[in-house]
Amino acid sequence: MLRRLFFGLFLVAELFSCLQGHAQSGAKTGDAPNIMLITLDSTRADRMSFLGAKHLTPNIDQLAAQGLVFERAYAQAPLTIVSHASLLSGTYPQTNLASEFGAPLATSVPYLPELLHGNGYHTAAFVNTRLLDPKNGFAPGFERGFDIYDTGKSSSTAANDEYHGSSPGTNEVVARVIRWTSTQRGPYFVWVCLSGPDGSRGEKSYNAAVTSLDAAVGGLLAALKKQQSFDNALVVLAADHGESLGAHGEETHGVFLYDEAIHVPLLLKLPQNQMAGSRVSGRVRLLDIAPSILEVARVPVPSQMQGQSLLRLAKSNPAADQPVYSRNDFSQQAFGWSRLESWRSGKYLYIRAPHPELYDLSTDPLAMNDISGKSRAILQTLASQLENFDSRLKSGVRTANAASLTSSDMQKLASLGYIGLQKTYPPVSATPTGINPKDVIDIANKTLSAWRSLYNADDTGATSTVFQKLIAAGQKGFLIDWGLGVSLARKKQYMDAIKQLHAAVQLQPDVAWLHYDIANCLMKTGDFKTAIVHLEIASHLLPLSSSIHSALTQAQGHMAILKQPDSR
């Protein structure tokens, strides 16, 4: 009898433990919330009506009224791929190693969609920028953990499109999201990335584009309500970065770390509108989003994530003024200039550069008055804080080809005449050297403007002149060489294009689409043997690309024909 009693108690304890485990996992229970993450590309915080703008974002304002608003949220990078990598992994750029030129997201970092998928969530991504295409774009590794990763490119046309082809429109993306969510019967996580406004077209056009994005968000929210999944859903809305719009001399974004490009909108609409109308005035980071979503989903947060829970901050100390770090490696990778790092602490903004900058944002919110010369003690204090932060993160040397190039790839490049490719980027230093990006921002403006024409396939032939003038003026850099090569190829000047693209490979040998571009030029000249080498390297760097594999098959086919004996 006693034995039966003990055995019964044991079964009850086991059952209770099992039920408790399921309750803690969250995603495997019936009440697990659906999760929609909406990211707006290139959208400034000060263009949100709920953060002070006038009549631009009525739909997002309504969502903000039902949610938790973070008034001072900051991106960790001013560029699309690197910023999204931090947002989705909860890690800093120097940890996840993503780059705008296609370096794969490090497999060692935790990844939000993979974690949710492993805990019972159906997962999908819908993006309308080719930059974030992991197959035929610049974001390898981003597909991890997604059941569907929709870039608007059908498999029947993918092989015929280059990486700079057109992307689906915002309305098309919204329609695809709505169709997918309507078919889901279990908990789902859906990431919706909507291309942002183009700052190069002027402020009026920029504001109109923000309003258009707001309408798209309104369509998504209306669909959730119609599907009766809005109330229990977690809806997160954020921008990956902002837009300079000419501030500090930068026309768009990608180089500077001032508020125009780094301060972004961020809000969370929690299930059952918990904490509706609450606002957090303390500084937070985009890398805090991933651990916060996991907390709501009741999925354990990996210790490797470097962000913290936004919910705990909102509940415990919403005015906490924690330091915020951001960085830009793009200026170094694209032009060979110095990298930039920023440190926001207290009321100050410190920019670590060859010419360090310091701003008191309490009296100078637009960062127009550099006080580094007359506030040396404060400058040294913030510089020391940033140095300690970098030291803790162990950010150091990263080889230019460390991301993906194999020893075989390096040998192939050496056989083609590329020498000295084992280069390294300078380690992070408390006293950075090199060209200060602020001194040459006009070069970045001209280069990026010309590249926008190339990327959008609306080049009229003038872009080659832009690049040629930059080179004639003594300006050098990977992005300039690559841009000139592509623009010359558009003009069918293939031999000149090959020369320029060769110079670009010498500077950055681990960019898949650069190898693709030079291979296409080589095939036009009949050099299929060399083209195959470049395409093999490109296929190693971007193994899922149908465009690259199609070009490789084509080149190999031509080589096979050339090797056949004359049958006449």
pLDDT of residue 457: 62
The highest-level CATH class for domain 407-563 is mainly alpha
The three-state DSSP-derived secondary structure of 134-168 is: CCCCCCCCCCCCCCEEECCCCHHHHCCCCCCCCCC
Phi (first) and psi of residue 193, to 5 degrees: -110, 120
**Burial classification of residue 104, based on how many CB atoms lie within 10 Å of its CB (0-12 exposed, 13-18 middle, 19 or more buried):** buried
Going from N- to C-terminal start, the domains of the chain cover 34-314, 347-393, 407-563
Query: Once rounded to an integer, what is the mean pLDDT over residues 230-248?
Result: 97
Superfamily of domain 34-314: Alkaline Phosphatase, subunit A (3.40.720.10)
Percentage of the chain lying above the pLDDT 70 cut: 87
Mean of the per-residue pLDDT values of the chain: 88
pLDDT digits (tens, 9 = 90+) for 490-520: 999 999 999 999 999 999 999 999 999 999 9
pLDDT digits (tens, 9 = 90+) for 422-449: 555 566 666 788 999 999 999 999 999 9
* Per-residue pLDDT at 113 exceeds 60: yes
Angle between helical axes of 546-563 and 528-541 (0-180°, round to 10): 150
Tell which wins on pLDDT, 155 or 188. Answer: 188
pLDDT digits (tens, 9 = 90+) for 545-554: 999 999 999 9
* Per-residue pLDDT at 93 exceeds 70: yes
Q: Which of the residue ranges 25-29, 236-240, 449-453, 464-468 would you say has the lowest mean pLDDT?
A: 25-29
Query: Once rounded to an integer, what is the mean pLDDT over residues 240-269?
Result: 97
Per-residue pLDDT band at 454 (split at 50, 70, 90):
confident
Identical fold between 34-314 and 407-563:
no
Residue 497 gets which letter from DSSP? H
pLDDT of residue 504: 96
Per-residue pLDDT band at 201 (split at 50, 70, 90):
confident
* Per-residue pLDDT at 345 exceeds 70: yes
* Per-residue pLDDT at 23 exceeds 60: no
Cα 397 off chain centre by: 21
